[in-house]
């Protein structure tokens, strides 16, 4: 008998974006998957055993772009007049406090866990030490960064010059990079919010540390036009000229790409993600061309204010959009098949987490980040194709168990890593205060 920490016994297992194996055991030791093998004779003695009958285990979902600091903005964005960033988000973020960030991170972590998300990229916020403490406790695989911008006219509470902004990012890196499941990225809020000097300095500090640099890219037509007016070239071309574009650059949104920009993304092997629900009010991404050239974007929620943190809906919205805009005119019903959508979720997500090849699949040697779905639900059975039904009908509420880095964060929908009751009580109190009651 071999010893292991955790054994999942006799479950259906989705080992990657397209393969489902029935009757499979998964042995986990420490933070890694030790073995994936057909269920049969017992060869493992485990500290914890999870019976896999009527369950499907699959890689945990990865949110490639979210905003902790917008968690308390739920319900205040839908139908708001554009530009939401300047009218709603920016004033709200400038009013954040350490207490609000702690609550936001607690709620975001709970929401992600209950939706089956095991890894996420926080795109840059304030009071990130507070958030990092909560995320560290949660056990989720987090990539954190500070909101970095130096444009003139920002609210006084968040205004800072370039040197201050980079010093803050350096400090977050020193404090949290490599602690538990957390890593720290450098971030540019958006190119049009950052001076040339800040962009160069941030990129240099990220490169010195081998850290990923991320930015909101090509999200709005006005932003692209603004960069063309300021620099004479489009955003990705500008980054290339600045020497910033590399395989360690993650561009969120990345809509409105010119052919030259797509070629640069391919040349530098940069990473991308789309945020479908948020993007629907902005543009339709050229994902077919990106996939064709070998660039696999991940999916991001863009924070809870844009329809919550569930990625189930994001995938379905994206598929519907691709079908309506590209599939129907080309009479191609397989313009964005389920396998490709899960590939974007897992492979694009792993790239965003800087864990290509080690996350997003259930395979010996990979990080043990996985979730289980309850299959004995009317919504999911019977099915002629489980992969399709999972994509079409799966919901956050179907997620039963969540494991990240080998640690069980949720078991049978009971969150084990955070005090859900206390966090929800604080959220209720916040809602009352915000409503002036
Ligand atoms: Zn964003």
43 alpha carbon – ligand 1 mean position (Å):
47
Strand pairing category for 44-51 and 2-14: parallel
Whole-number Å distance, alpha carbon 217 to ligand 1 midpoint, is 9
In the prediction, which pLDDT does 106 show? 98
For 51, 53, 271, 376, the CA distances from 381, given in Å and listed in that order, are 19, 14, 36, 7
Average pLDDT over residues 229-258: 97
- Ligand 1 geometric centre to CA of 13 (Å): 32
CB 273 within 8 A of CB 249: no
- CA 327 to ligand 1 center in whole angstroms: 27
Edge-to-edge strand list for the sheet holding 182-184: 61-66, 117-122, 141-144, 182-184
The predicted structure's pLDDT at residue 127: 97
**Residues 51, 409: Cα–Cα separation, whole Å:** 16
Banded model confidence at residue 86, pLDDT cuts 50, 70, 90: confident
Ligand 1 centre from 303 Cα, in Å? 7
- Tell me how far the alpha carbon of residue 150 lies from the centroid of ligand 1, in angstroms: 17
- Predicted TM-score (pTM) of the model is 0.97
187 band by pLDDT with thresholds 50, 70 and 90: very high
pLDDT digits (tens, 9 = 90+) for 154-182: 888 888 898 999 999 999 999 999 999 99
| Inter-CA distances, 350 with 30, 75, 235, 378, 380, Å | 20, 30, 24, 32, 27
CB atoms within 5 A of ion ligand 1 belong to 123, 302
**What three-state secondary structure class fits 52?**
coil
Task: Say how many Å lie between the CA of residue 393 and the centre of ligand 1.
Answer: 27
- Strands 414-415 and 407-411, bridge-based pairing: antiparallel
pLDDT score at 365: 98
Whole-number Å distance, alpha carbon 22 to ligand 1 midpoint, is 38
Cα of 431 from ligand 1 centre, angstroms? 23
Residue 345 structure tokens: 């979720």
What's the distance, CA 119 to chain centroid?
Answer: 6
420 falls in which pLDDT band (50, 70, 90)? very high
Q: Calculate how far, in angstroms, residue 301's C-alpha sits from the geometric centre of ligand 1.
A: 8
Q: What average pLDDT does range 250-273 have in this prediction?
A: 98
Spacing, Cα 85 to ligand 1 middle (Å): 9
**How confident is the model at residue 156, as a pLDDT?**
87
Taking the centre of ligand 1 as the mean of its atom positions, its distance from the CA of residue 368, in whole angstroms, is: 28
pLDDT in tens, 304-355: 998 999 999 999 999 999 999 999 999 999 999 999 999 999 999 999 999 9
How far, in Å, is the centroid of ligand 1 from the Cα of 382? 38
Domains defined along the chain, listed by start: 2-59+361-413 (2.30.40.10), 61-352 (3.20.20.140)
346-398 pLDDT, tens digit per residue, is 999 999 999 999 999 999 999 999 999 999 999 999 999 999 999 999 999 99
CA of 322 to the centre of ligand 1 (A): 21
Q: Say yes or no to pLDDT of 215 above 90.
A: yes
pLDDT band with cut points at 50, 70 and 90 for residue 80: confident
| 292-304 confidence digits (pLDDT tens) | 999 999 999 999 9
Mapped onto helix, strand or coil, the DSSP state of residue 375 is coil
CA of 165 to the centre of ligand 1 (A): 18
What is the pLDDT at residue 79?
87
User: How close is the Cα of 7 to the center of ligand 1, in Å?
Assistant: 38
Say how many Å lie between the CA of residue 295 and the centre of ligand 1: 20
Tell me how far CA of residue 172 lies from CA of 105, 157, 176, in angstroms: 16, 19, 6
Q: What's residue 81's pLDDT?
A: 83
**pLDDT value of position 409:** 98
| Spacing, Cα 171 to ligand 1 middle (Å) | 22
Residue 222 is predicted with a pLDDT of: 93
CA of 341 to the centre of ligand 1 (A): 21
Residue 416 has a pLDDT of 98
pLDDT at position 413: 98
Distance 249 CA to ligand 1 centre (A): 15
- d(CA 278, ligand 1 centre) in Å: 9
* Residue 83, pLDDT score: 80
Q: 219 alpha carbon to ligand 1 midpoint, in Å?
A: 9
Write the pLDDT tens digit of every residue in 4-53: 999 999 999 999 999 999 999 999 999 999 999 999 887 899 999 999 99
187 CA from centroid of ligand 1 (Å): 11
Ligand 1 midpoint to CA 26 (Å): 36
Position 15 scores a pLDDT of 97
Q: Per-residue pLDDT for 240 more than 80?
A: yes
Q: In sequence order, what DSSP letters do the residues of 339-357 get, joined into one string?
A: HHHHHIIIIIHHHHTT-TT
For 115, the token pair is 């939706």
How confident is the model at residue 284, as a pLDDT?
A: 95
Compute, in angstroms, the gap from residue 48 CA to the centroid of ligand 1.
Answer: 38
Share of the chain above pLDDT 90, in %: 91
Contact 225, 187 (CB under 8 A): no
How does DSSP assign 222-272, residue by residue?
HHHHHHHHHHSS-HHHHHHHTT--STTEEEEE--S--HHHHHHHHHHT-EE
Work out the angle at residue 34's Cα, subtended by the Cα atoms of residues 30 and 39, and round it to the nearest 5 degrees: 125
Say whether pLDDT at 424 is over 90: yes
Q: In the predicted model, what is the mean pLDDT of the chain? A: 96
Asked if 57 and 362 touch (Cβ cutoff 8 Å), the reply is yes
**How far apart are the CA of 65 and the centre of ligand 1, in A?**
6
Q: What is the DSSP letter of 73?
A: G
Per-residue pLDDT band for 281 (boundaries 50, 70, 90) equals confident
């Amino acid at each position: 008998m071999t010893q292991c920490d955790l054994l999942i016994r006799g479950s259906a297992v989705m080992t990657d974006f397209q393969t489902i194996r029935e009757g499979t055991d998964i042995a986990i030791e420490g933070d890694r998957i030790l073995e994936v093998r057909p269920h049969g004779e017992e060869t493992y003695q485990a500290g914890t055993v999870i019976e896999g009958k009527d369950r499907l285990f699959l890689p945990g979902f990865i949110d490639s772009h979210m905003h902790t600091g917008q968690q308390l903005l739920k319900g205040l964005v839908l139908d708001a007049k554009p530009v939401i960033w300047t009218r709603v988000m920016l004033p709200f973020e400038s009013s954040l406090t350490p207490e609000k960030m702690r609550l936001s991170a607690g709620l975001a972590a709970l929401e992600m866990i209950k939706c089956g998300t095991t890894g996420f990229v926080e795109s840059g916020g304030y009071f990130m030490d507070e958030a990092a403490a909560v995320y560290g406790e949660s056990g989720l695989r987090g990539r954190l960064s500070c909101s970095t911008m130096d444009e003139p006219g920002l609210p006084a509470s968040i205004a800072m010059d370039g040197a201050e902004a980079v010093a803050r990012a350096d400090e977050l890196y020193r404090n949290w990079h490599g602690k538990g499941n957390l890593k720290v990225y450098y971030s540019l809020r958006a190119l049009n919010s950052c001076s040339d000097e800040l962009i160069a300095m941030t990129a240099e500090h990220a490169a010195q540390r081998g850290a990923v640099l991320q930015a909101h890219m090509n999200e709005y037509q006005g932003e692209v036009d603004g960069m063309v007016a300021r620099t004479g070239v489009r955003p990705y071309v500008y980054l290339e000229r600045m020497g910033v574009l590399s395989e360690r650059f993650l561009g969120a949104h990345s809509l409105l790409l010119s052919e030259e920009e797509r070629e640069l993304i391919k040349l530098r092997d940069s990473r991308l993600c789309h945020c479908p629900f948020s993007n629907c009010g902005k543009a339709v991404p050229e994902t077919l061309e990106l996939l064709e050239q070998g660039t696999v974007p991940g999916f991001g929620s863009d924070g809870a204010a844009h329809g919550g943190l569930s990625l189930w809906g994001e995938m379905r919205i994206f598929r519907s959009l691709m079908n309506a805009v590209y599939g129907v005119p080309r009479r191609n019903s397989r313009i964005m098949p389920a396998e490709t959508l899960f590939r974007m979720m897992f492979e694009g997500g792993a790239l965003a987490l800087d864990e290509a090849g080690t996350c997003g699949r259930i395979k010996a040697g990979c990080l043990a980040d996985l979730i289980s779905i309850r299959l004995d639900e009317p919504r999911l059975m019977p099915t002629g194709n489980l992969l399709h039904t999972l994509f079409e009908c799966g919901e956050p509420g179907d997620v039963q168990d969540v494991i990240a880095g080998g640690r069980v964060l949720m078991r049978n929908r009971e969150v084990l890593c955070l005090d859900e009751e206390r966090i929800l009580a604080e959220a209720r109190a916040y809602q009352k205060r915000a409503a002036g009651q």
